[in-house]
Structure 1
């Protein structure tokens, strides 16, 4: 059985910018990584990182039929924009069987904020190189890829131990 990571993002560029290195590193570690996006942008940047893509709308419609991922990563701005995404995050946090990881600068509701802690992922050298290539393919300008991506996570112990407390 392979581990599964579902990444929920409003755009391809958002997923690559905030989680591209982590997506790459998990994909190279043998995880099945799927990015669920709203937009119809070119999927090449996600393919560079080793991820598959699906329409977010189609997955939200058939969520109950989708295999259960070990980790779900969500752009925090989607929690305010789509109540279905917020509800799935709440359920995952309550059940505790899925690592819930959020990214973005958006303020979380008090209900969610008290259930997540800051974590970071140290990108491998290859992840930095592939993320830079993916950002360029997505049309990002002045691409600089740092060594760390930061998140907020609902489980302090990562399934793969690649997320560490940010304190």
Structure 2
């Protein structure tokens, strides 16, 4: 069985900008990385990072037919604006079997006690592939930082060694 990371976001650019290096590092480590995204006119940026793409509406409609992933990553702004995403995150946090990770510039206050600040140090390859994904997504070129920062709650008995370390 391969580990699975499901990523939920509104658009491809958001995923590339905030979590592209982490996704690449997980994919290269053998994880199945699936991005559930609402707006995906061009899938190349996510394919560069090693991710598969599934339409968000389809994924939400069929959520009960899939086993839960080992990790669920969600754009915090989508948590705030889509009640189905919010419910899924809260359910995953309550059940405790899934590592739950969020990113974004705004943060849902109701989750402050549930998750802590964590970081992922990108491999050199992740930095290079994230830069290529930036270009493919037509995002303005910026220096790719070696660290991506998230909020996360790791399961009580994680199935895998953590690649997200507490920020501090």
TM-score of the superposition, structure 2-length normalised?
Answer: 0.95
Aligned equivalent of 2:149: 150
Matched, 1:93 2:93: yes
Deviation string 1:104-133 (CA, Å, 9 cap, x unpaired) is 0112133x1110000000000000000000
Aligned equivalent of 1:35: 35
Deviation at 1:160, TM superposition (A): 3.4
Deviation at 1:156, TM superposition (A): 7.1
Unaligned runs of 5+ in 1: none
Matched, 1:164 2:159: no
Matched, 1:68 2:48: no
2:70, 2:161 → 1: CA distance? 10
1:100, 1:107 → 2: CA distance? 14
Unaligned runs of 5+ in 2: none
The change in CA–CA distance for 1:71 and 1:41 in structure 2 (over 3 A counts) is same
Deviation at 1:35, TM superposition (A): 0.3
TM-score of the superposition, structure 1-length normalised?
Answer: 0.96
Aligned equivalent of 1:22: 22
2:40, 2:27 → 1: CA distance? 22
The change in CA–CA distance for 1:2 and 1:156 in structure 2 (over 3 A counts) is closer
SS in 1 for 2:30: coil
Moved >6 Å (runs of 4+) = none
- Decide whether the 8 Å contact of 1:59 with 1:66 is kept in 2: no
